A and B are shown apart, each in its own frame.
Chain A
Amino acid sequence: MLLELSPFLYNTNLLIIWYFLLVNMCYVVLLIESIPDVFIKFKESEIGNIDLFVNSNLLPPICILIPAYNEEDVIINTVQSVLKSNYPSLQIIIVNDGSSDSTVQLLHDKYELTPSQPVFAPKIKTKASFADYFTSKIYPHLQVIDKEHSGKSDSLNIGINSCSSPLFMTVDADTLLEPDAISKLAYSMLSQPHTIAEGGAIYVVNGCNYDDGVLFEPRMSISPLVAIQTCEYLRAFVFGRTGWQRLRGPLILSGAVTLLERQAVIDIGGFTLDAPGEDMEVIVGLHDYMRKNKFPYRIGYNLSASAWTHVPTDMNTLWSQRDRWHRGLIDSLMRHKHMFFNPSYGGTGLLSYPFQVLVEFLGPIVELIGYIAVSLAMHYNVINWQIAILFFVVTWGFASLMTLVTTLIVFISFNNYKRFADLFFVFFVVIFESCGYRQIMALCRCSATARYFLKKLIPV
C-alpha cells in the first residue's frame, strides 16, 4: 500500500507547491498593480487639503451610519472622531441595535439627546418593528435611533431609510476616523467616473494612544497576537484591495469605513439580513446588479483615507471573528455563484470572483492538506527535505516576505507608523506569524467551511 501511495503523496505535494506558487504570482501581480495607485494616493496625500480641488458647494452631503451593539467602551470615541472630521456637510446617525449595556445612556449623557419624530418614506424593508428617534441638542446633525435587536444589517437598513443624503458611509462603532478620511473618500468618488462605492484603509488601534476621538500616537501593539493582526491588515489593505482596483474592482471593502451611493444600495435591496458578512455581500451584490444591468460603475478604494479599529486581543474572540468572516465569504460566493468565470460579468466574473473562490476559499483547505501531505510524505520518505523546504518557502516564507514588503510600503508612503521600532518589531513578528498563528487561522477557516456546508446539509 505504501508503494501505491508514494506516487500519490509525491504528486500531491508537488501539486500543492505549484498551487501556492501560482497564488504567490497572483499576489505579486496585485502588488505590482497597486503601485500606480500607491503613487497617486501618496501624491494626493502630500497635497494635503482637498479644498483646492473641490468647492464646498460641490461636496455632497454624507450621512455617517454607526451601528452599535454593546459598545459602551468605544462608542463615544468613535462619534467624537466623526464630529472632528473636516468634512463640511455631515449627518450622523447612530443606530443602537438593542444594546443591553449603557451604550444609549452614554450617548444621552454626552450629547443631550431629545426625542424626535422624523418622517421619511422607507425605501428598504426592515425587520425591527419599532424604533425611538432622538436628536442631539448640542449637535443638531447627530441623531440616535434606538431599536430592538435585529442585527447589524437591519440596523444599517434602518439608517439608510432615515438618511436624506445621496451618499452614506458605514463606520463601525469601534473605529476612529482620521479627520480627513471622509474628505479623501469623497474626493476619490468625485475624481473617478460612475463611482458607487469607495473603501478606506483600516489600521489597528490597539496599542495606540488616543483620547476623545483623536489619535495621538500610532504604534504597534506589543501583544504578539495584535501585532500579527496589524501585519495582516497591512497586507490585505495595501495590495489586496488596491491591486484589484485596476482589475475591475475589489469584491470586499471593509464595513468599518466605506462610502456608498444610497440609491445604488437601495436598488439592490439594502444590506442582506441573513448574510454573515454583510459588508462583502453588499459589494458583491453591487457588482452583480450593475453588471447584470450593464450600468457603468466603479467600486474603488482609497489607501490614504484611514481609519483605526480595534481587533480581538484573545484567541477565542479572534477565532469567532475569523469564523464569521470566512462564513460570510462563502455565503456571498454561494449567493452569486452565477458570476464564476461568467464572461458577461467582465473582469469581475473572470478575475475577482474566481480569485476569491480559488485562493481565499480553497487556500486554507489546500494549505491544511499540504501540512498533512508533507508530514506523511516525509515520514514515509516519499519526499526529501528539499521538497519539504520548498513547501514551507512558498507558504510561510512568501507570506512573511509579502508582509514585510507591504509594511515597508506603508512606512515609506504614508507615515502612519512613524517609529522605526515598529518597523523592526514587524520583522520579528512575521517569524511568529508562520509558527502557529497561520496554521491556527487555516484550521479556523477550514472549520468555518465545514460548519457552513454542514449547516446547509443538515438544517437545524
Chain B
Amino acid sequence: MLVKASFLEIVIYIEILLMILVVLLIFGLKIYLNRKKKRDQRILYELELYLSGLLHTKSPFEPKNFLNRWHRLDLLIPIFRKFSRENIPEWTTEKHHFAKLMMLPLAKKQAVSRIKSHRVYAAMAFEYFMEEEDEPFVCELIRDTTPLIHLHSSIAAVQFGSERCLYEVVSSMTKSRRLGQSLYLNIFKTADPRVGSIIENFLKTEENSYTAALCYKILMLFPVTNSTIDSSKAIVSENIELQLAAIRYEVYTKKQATIPFLIGCLADERWETRALACNLLGSLDAKDAANHLGAALHDPVWWVRINAARALKELGDQGIAILEAQTPEKDLYAYETAQYILSSN
C-alpha cells in the first residue's frame, strides 16, 4: 500500500508521524525530568545533612569526604542561600571557607562553559567568595550579554572590591540600556565605602563622557566624604548626561554652597539644566533663590516651569506666595502651572 501511495499521501503520513513523535518526545522528557527531580532532591537532602553536621560539630571540611555527586553548583547554591537566610551563627563565620573549598573550583570550571545555566551558577557562586586569581573569570562573566550573568558577577565584583572587576562593571554599565543601568546602580547601594574611593579614582582619569556620568551617579550612592573630584569641566560639558550627573554630584557633596551656582544654571541655554537647577534649589530649601524661581515660572519649556513651581512650593510660605501671585492675564502658562502644583499632593 505504501509503495502505491501517491506523493501527497506520503507527505501526509510523514507529517502525522512527526507530530506523534513530538508528543512521545515531550512525554519522555517529562518522565526523565521527574526522575531527575526526585534524584536531585535526595542528593540535596544528603548534602544539607552533611553540611549541617560540619557546622554544628565545627569539624574541618575534608575534600575526600565530599562525594562526587555533590560537586554541583545548582545544589550547593540553594543550600548556601538557605543557611544564610536561617542566620546560623556558625555559618556566618564559615561561609567564605566553605565557598572557597567547595564552590570556587566548580565556579572557575563553569565560568567558561558554553551552557548558559552553568555560567549563571558560576556568577552566583563568586558572590560568596572570590580571590585575586579569580578576577579574569569574573571579568569574563561581567562581559557576558545575559543580564542575569553580568548582574550576579557584578555583585561579586562590588562585594569583594576588585578594582579590575569594578572597572569592568562600570564599562558594562555604560553599554547597557536604561533598565540595565538602574539594576546596576542597585548593586552599588550595599557596597563597602572603599568601593567609592575606587570609583573616584576611575573618574579622575575617565575620558568617556557616558562612563564619567555613570561614575558620578554611583558616587552619589556612597556617604559624602572628602571628595577630591574636580567637576569644573564636567558641569559645563557639552554632553548633557555628564553635565546633569556632575551638577547633581556637586549639590550632593557641597549642599548649600552650590546655591549661587544653581541660580546661575537657571539661565543655561539647555532646558534640562534649567529644570534640574529648579529641582535642586527646591530640595536645598534655597529661600534666596525664590525670586529667581519665580522668574523660571515663565520659562518657555513646560518641564522647567513645573520644576520651578514645585521648588517654590517646597520653599514654604515665601514660595507659595509667589505661586499664588500668578495671574492668567500676566502669563497663562505660569498661572496654570502654579495652580496645578498648588492643588497637587
Question: Which residues does A use to contact B, with CB under 8 Å?
Answer: 17, 21, 24-25, 28, 31-32, 35, 38-39, 42-43, 46, 52-55, 57-58, 60, 116-119, 121, 166-167, 189-194, 261, 263, 390, 393-394, 398, 401-402, 405, 408-409, 412-413
Contact = CB atoms under 8 A, between A and B. Distances in A.
B332 interface: no
B19 A31 contact: yes
A58 B16 contact: no
A396 to B, nearest CB: 13
A166 B178 CA distance: 7
Contacts of A32: 18, 22
Contacts of B22: 31-32, 35, 405, 409
A161 to B, nearest CB: 13
Interface stretch (B103-111, B143-151, B323-331): B143-151
A52 B179 contact: no
Nearest to B340: A117
B19 A192 contact: no
Contact of B8 (A21, A119, A190): A21
Given A57-B190, A191-B148, A261-B179, A398 B15 contact: yes
Q: Shortest 10 CB-CB distances between A and B: which pairs?
A: A117-B344, A193-B145, A166-B179, A190-B147, A57-B186, A190-B148, A405-B19, A191-B148, A412-B30, A121-B303
Contacts of A53: 120, 124, 148
Contacts of A413: 26, 30
A457 to B, nearest CB: 38
Given A191-B148, A193-B146, A60 B182 contact: yes
B341 interface: yes
Contact of B345 (A38, A117, A121, A408): A117
B165 to A, nearest CB: 17
A167 B189 CA distance: 21
Contacts of B190: 57
Contacts of B78: 52
Given A58-B151, A119-B306, A190-B147, A263 B177 contact: yes
B198 interface: no
Given A24-B15, A60-B179, A191-B120, A55 B148 contact: no
Contact of A57 (B11, B33, B189, B306): B189
A261 B303 CA distance: 23
Contact of B23 (A17, A194, A393, A409): A409
Given A28-B15, A60-B179, A119-B341, A35 B151 contact: no
Interface string B231-270: 0000000000000000000000000000000000000000
B183 interface: yes
Interface in B123-156: 124, 145-148, 151-152, 155
A211 B235 CA distance: 57
B37 interface: yes
A155 B265 CA distance: 37
Given A190-B147, A261-B179, 10 more contacts: A21-B12, A31-B19, A43-B33, A57-B186, A57-B189, A119-B306, A191-B116, A191-B148, A405-B19, A413-B26
Contacts of A43: 33
Contacts of B182: 60, 166
B183 A60 contact: yes
A67 to B, nearest CB: 23
A39 B28 CA distance: 11
Nearest to A40: B117
Contacts of A194: 145
B18 to A, nearest CB: 5
A393 B9 CA distance: 10
Contacts of A402: 19
Contacts of B178: 166, 263
Contacts of B15: 21, 24-25, 28, 398
Interface centre among B15, B152, B189 (most CB of A within 10 A): B15
B19 A412 contact: no
B155 A408 contact: no
Nearest to B177: A263
B77 interface: yes
A121 B310 CA distance: 13
Interface in B62-94: 77-78, 81
A39 B29 contact: yes
28 contacts: A28-B15, A31-B22, A35-B25, A46-B33, A46-B37, A55-B152, A116-B345, A117-B344, A119-B341, A121-B302, A166-B178, A167-B179, A191-B146, A191-B147, A191-B148, A192-B146, A193-B145, A194-B145, A261-B179, A263-B177, A390-B8, A390-B12, A401-B16, A401-B19, A409-B22, A412-B26, A412-B27, A413-B26
B148 A52 contact: no
A57 B345 contact: no
Contacts of B29: 39, 42
A259 to B, nearest CB: 11
A189 B147 CA distance: 8
B8 A117 contact: no
Nearest to B155: A55
Contacts of B322: none
B343 interface: yes
A89 B116 CA distance: 27
A23 to B, nearest CB: 11
B187 interface: yes
B304 to A, nearest CB: 11
Nearest to B21: A32
Contacts of A167: 179
A28 B19 contact: yes
Nearest to A51: B81
Contacts of A35: 22, 25-26
B4 to A, nearest CB: 12
Interface centre among B22, B183, B310 (most CB of A within 10 A): B22
Interface string B303-345: 1001000100000000000000000000000000000110111
B163 to A, nearest CB: 23
A17 B26 contact: no
A242 to B, nearest CB: 12
Interface centre among B116, B146, B340, B341 (most CB of A within 10 A): B146
B338 to A, nearest CB: 13
A418 to B, nearest CB: 14
Contacts of A412: 23, 26-27, 30
Interface string B19-61: 1001101110110010001000000000000000000000000
Contacts of A261: 177, 179
A261 B181 CA distance: 13
Nearest to A415: B30
A376 B341 CA distance: 73
Nearest to B27: A412
Interface centre among B77, B340, B345 (most CB of A within 10 A): B345
Contacts of A394: 12
